[in-house]
Amino acid sequence: MSSEEYRPHEYLPTIDAILSVADLEKITVKKIRNALQELFGVNLNPHKQNVNEIIMERYYSLLDQRKNEQRSLKERKAEIEAQDAIMAARLSKTPYNSPLTRSSAKNKTTTSKVKKPKKVSDKPPRTNNPFNKVMGLSSELADVVQATQKSRPQVVKILWEYIKGRDLQNPSDKRIIICDEKLQRLFKKKTVGAFEMNKILSKHIFPLEDGKEDPEAIKKSYSGKSVKPPSKVKSDERINDEDDEDDEEEEDDDDDDEEEDDNLADVVKAEDVDSSSEESEA
């Protein structure tokens, strides 16, 4: 083992990379520290406590980031479904082939002013609107819209053109769609409501790959082996891959190693229990 200078700030990107792809139910502080020693060729035993604190700090930071991303995703999904519902309501009352876009689905106020013709701009249309982002489509949905990639507004518009072109709306209630063979494969039922239809569509529309770095490549960089993606495992199936060298460590370090072999998820749960007990005693 080399004795290069201890530079904790240089280890942060590697720690973040390991935590981002690791199964938090199995990864331990000790495993991450050993990986750092191998990658940077430095003996971290003299700085064990400090490295452990850094690893736990990055772990909590990752948890907070994931919670914020999940909250943002839920809010965005709710907004998209609300816009789709408005558009569906308008489309169900609009004759076939009438022009309609998501923006026109919003309430408009009429004025007596004569609108000036818009200037033709040479600039390309803005594509950074999340509603207009091209998404991947399931095989069932692709069979209806005749495309494997479309934005959500395009999917809704083409779907309603398909419905109106085949006169599939219930004459007594235009909000009810009578499914033909293709729509039955898509919605798994013979009839479907216009608002329910938008919720079901969410299961058939998914983001395309955006070229982010492959998590498998990060795994190989610190493990040296090809590791399968994390999967759910029972607690009694967790792997204990202690190195033979650990048996030769001094007795004083044995207690510390036992604590470091606890997976990070269980460490957080234990801390939550301790804090709850202290509050109840107070």
User: What digits encode the pLDDT tens for the residues 19-47?
Assistant: 888 887 788 999 999 999 999 899 999 99
Tell me the H-state helices in 122-235. 139-145, 152-165, 181-187, 194-201, 215-223
The verdict on pTM exceeding 0.75 is no
Coil/strand/helix, residue 146: coil
Burial 217-252 (b: 16+ CB within 10 A, else e): ebbeebeeeeeeeeeeeeeeeeeeeeeeeeeeeeee
> Domains in the chain and their CATH numbers?
8-69+215-272 (no CATH), 134-206 (1.10.245.10)
The pLDDT mean for the chain works out to 72
Report how far apart the first and last C-alpha atoms of the chain are (Å, whole number): 48
Strand-strand pairing, 205-206 and 135-137: antiparallel
* pLDDT tens digits, one per residue of 222-261: 444 433 444 443 333 333 344 444 444 444 555 555 555 5
What would the two tokens of residue 70 be? 């999940």
Residue with tokens 């072999």: 261
Coil/strand/helix, residue 45: helix
* pLDDT tens digits, one per residue of 134-161: 989 999 999 999 999 999 889 999 999 9
